[in-house]
Structure 1
């Protein structure tokens, strides 16, 4: 584990391997451990990094809201990510983001394109507002409010529709361990930002090669969203992973890793 200090926050990340930098951004209600199959499989060819974003895993809590400071915003996450990529001292990185992490990857590109070698957008959105019908966004916001209103002992951060079938048994303990330490305020911030964000204007400006990795049976970000990305991005390749849902890196890790390796190798 490595840590960097950014604006008074400790940001932790795992770093393994040697080679071109490949940085993974986790989804909402997760931390860097969700990328364990990728750290294990890809470190033979890449410097693989999985961060715990501010408010997750081993990183500091998000700053408490106050009258004297603006709420933690997408730009603040991007600023922290820039410190992580710069701390590697390896130049621009392959930036891979799943779901909420993919939305952050787009924001990061908008603000720091100099640090991005390629983008790998996995089962993601241009923000919920930018990718989903308004009625679906309203339904998700209502569901998030119900989740966050639960009593402390009853809070369950597991979002519906993450897998095509049952969660993979091999990673069930990992999923339980991550869910047990999710901080409600972090989840509140992530989901509120997703509901408000529309990054469709960023897509046509992306000048780096982009891989779209999508689970064939993703119910949360369906393939129609991937097609929207493919049409808007200047240089995008779509790889659909059969029999996978929203968390395709855990549900079909072999296929996922193979696609990531081929893409990053071709653009390193």
Structure 2
């Protein structure tokens, strides 16, 4: 792992490969280890960067009252410090909100967006009662031993066809969650609504979803597709929320095809 300092915080990341920069933002309860199939599978043509978000993995915990604006500034600071050129940004689930916040505040930084299992923020994509249910669920779980809630989360992240070894890897990653980090990220993004941002996006954007995603279902995907001008929607059959891990070959092919089409 490498690291940079941004606003007094150590932000850790992995960097692999050579070529145009592709930066990966993981979801809540995860860290850069979630991207092993992409660090290996895309680094032949891209320099792949996978950060540990503030409060996750080997990165420092941010302030508990972290705001969306703070998160956007930290993300921009990380990109300026660690990434040497205009990057492609790929955000998974909560990581898609990181990418949208970055675009909202600093639209000149990214070259493209790849939004995976994405939301326009929970409040921008889900009914109000579901937003509050998820918010309360995370708050209730944050101080529990991870093994108490991991088993409840896993069936919402994968289909029943997923490789058990992959599911076990995700369980191991989630077991490392830190309460302080979760509280900070919930503070920044738990009630975010990025619907006003979507029509302003002018860079090439890929929306990439699993067909059987329970957490961010296809009606969410179609609404983002409708709102983001010129966006492309790709759906991987028989795959759930964590498409990059459940179907890495199909996922990597979609990302390659999109980014090569942009370069071409």
- The alignment's TM-score, normalised by the length of structure 2, stands at 0.93
Listed as ranges, the gaps of 5+ residues in structure 2 are: none
Q: Where in structure 2 are the equivalents of 1:152-163 lying within 5 Å?
A: 152=145, 156=149, 159=153, 161-163=156-158
Secondary structure of the 2:149 match is coil
Residue in 1 aligned with 2:130?
Answer: 136
Residue 156 of structure 1 contacts residue 179 of structure 1 at CA under 8 Å; is this kept in 2? no
Residue in 1 aligned with 2:35?
Answer: 35
Residue in 2 aligned with 1:227?
Answer: 222
Residue in 2 aligned with 1:68?
Answer: none
After superposition, what is the alpha-carbon deviation per residue over 1:49-87, rounded to whole angstroms, capped at 9, x for unaligned? 100011000111223x4xxxxx11222222222223223
C-alpha separation in 2, matches of 1:41 and 1:183: 29
Residue 100 of structure 1 contacts residue 190 of structure 1 at CA under 8 Å; is this kept in 2? no
RMSD: 1.8
Residue 198 of structure 2 contacts residue 227 of structure 2 at CA under 8 Å; is this kept in 1? yes
- Whether 1:82 and 2:92 are equivalent positions in the alignment is no
Residue 148 of structure 1 contacts residue 155 of structure 1 at CA under 8 Å; is this kept in 2? no
Residue in 1 aligned with 2:100?
Answer: 106
- Whether 1:16 and 2:16 are equivalent positions in the alignment is yes
C-alpha separation in 1, matches of 2:217 and 2:83: 36
C-alpha separation in 1, matches of 2:169 and 2:157: 15
Range that drifts further, 181-190 or 19-28? 181-190
Secondary structure of the 1:238 match is strand
- The alignment's TM-score, normalised by the length of structure 1, stands at 0.91
Secondary structure of the 1:120 match is strand
After superposition, what is the alpha-carbon deviation per residue over 1:108-158, rounded to whole angstroms, capped at 9, x for unaligned? 0111122100000000111110100112112222322331353x5765356
Residue 207 of structure 1 contacts residue 234 of structure 1 at CA under 8 Å; is this kept in 2? yes
Secondary structure of the 1:119 match is strand
- Whether 1:261 and 2:251 are equivalent positions in the alignment is no
Secondary structure of the 1:196 match is coil
Residue in 2 aligned with 1:145?
Answer: 139
Listed as ranges, the gaps of 5+ residues in structure 1 are: 66-70
Q: 1:154 to 1:265 in 2, by over 3 A?
A: closer
C-alpha separation in 1, matches of 2:199 and 2:168: 40
Residue in 1 aligned with 2:174?
Answer: 179
Q: How many positions carry a matched residue from both structures?
A: 261
Q: CA deviation at 1:175?
A: 1.5
After superposition, what is the alpha-carbon deviation per residue over 1:158-203, rounded to whole angstroms, capped at 9, x for unaligned? 6351112265323244323312210012223333444311010000
Secondary structure of the 2:190 match is helix
Q: CA deviation at 1:97?
A: 0.3
